[in-house]
Amino acid sequence: MGLLSKQNKAALSEPLNINNPIVAQVLGICSALAVTSQLKPAIVMGLSVTIITAMANVIISVLRNTIPNRIRIIVQLVVVAALVTIVSMVLKAFAYDVSVQLSVYVGLIITNCILMGRLEAFAMQNKVFPSLLDGIGNGLGYAWILIAVGFCRELLGNGTLLGYTVIPASAYELGYANNGMMTMPAMALILVGCVIWVHSVLNNRKK
C-alpha cells in the first residue's frame, strides 16, 4: 500500500505536468535550448538526465543521515559528477556520434538546476523509493519537453526525424520549404515559451 501511496504517485506524476521542472519551475532551460535542434540528441539528453537524476536521488537518500550538513552540497556534486562521467563514457563508447553532437552539454548536467534542486529539496528529506520516483518523474518531465521541441525543430527545420526524411519530395515540388529559422537557437527559446504558455493556459483552465 505504501508503494502506491498518494505521495509516491504525486512524486512521479506531478513533474510530468503541473510541477514540470522546465515549464512550471523554469529550470534546465540552457540545455533545453542547446540540444534540441535535432530529435536524437534531445532524446539522449533527456534519458541521460532521467537516469542521472534517479540514481543521484537514490544515492543521496541512502546517505542523507550520514552526510554532515556543512558539506552536503559538495557531496551532492561529487555524486552527480561521478554519474555524469559514467554516462558520458557510455555515450562515447556506444553512441559516439550523439556524444559529439551533445558536446560539452553532457558535462554541464553536473550543474543542472533540476538535479541539484531535487537532491537538496527532496532526496535529503525522503526515503529511497519516493526519491527514486521523484528523480524519474523530474527527469521524464524534463525529457518530454526536450523531445517535443526537438521534434518540431527537426521536422520543420530540416524535414527529417531522427535523420530520416519524412516530408516527401512532392511537397517541395509544390512549393514547400524548410523553415531555416527552426535550426537557430532563438527558435528553441520561442518554442519553449509557447509550451510554457500552453501549459499555463491549460492548467489554469483546469483549476
pLDDT value, residue 1:
47
Model confidence pLDDT, tens digit, residues 184-200: 888 888 998 898 898 88
Angle between helices 72-94 and 39-63 (to 10 degrees): 140
pTM: 0.88
pLDDT value, residue 134:
94
Angle between helices 128-158 and 39-63 (to 10 degrees): 170
pLDDT value, residue 62:
95
**Separation of CA 168 from chain center:** 31
Amino acid at 36: T
pLDDT value, residue 53:
94
d(CA 54, CA 139): 7
Q: Which residue has the cell 531535487?
A: 118
d(CA 123, CA 174): 55
Closest CA to 52 of 143, 121, 126: 143
pLDDT value, residue 135:
94
Over its length of 207 residues, how does the chain's per-residue pLDDT go in tens digits?
Answer: 466 688 888 888 899 988 888 888 888 787 777 788 888 888 988 999 999 999 999 999 999 999 998 999 999 999 999 999 999 899 888 888 888 877 777 777 777 788 888 999 899 999 999 999 999 999 999 999 999 999 999 999 999 998 888 988 888 888 888 988 888 888 888 998 898 898 888 877 765
Per DSSP, the chain holds a count of helices (H) and strands (E) of 9, 2
Question: φ and ψ at 37, to 5 degrees?
Answer: -70, -25
The answer to whether residues 123 and 64 touch, using CB atoms and an 8 Å cutoff, is yes
d(CA 11, CA 117): 14
Closest CA to 98 of 109, 87, 113: 87
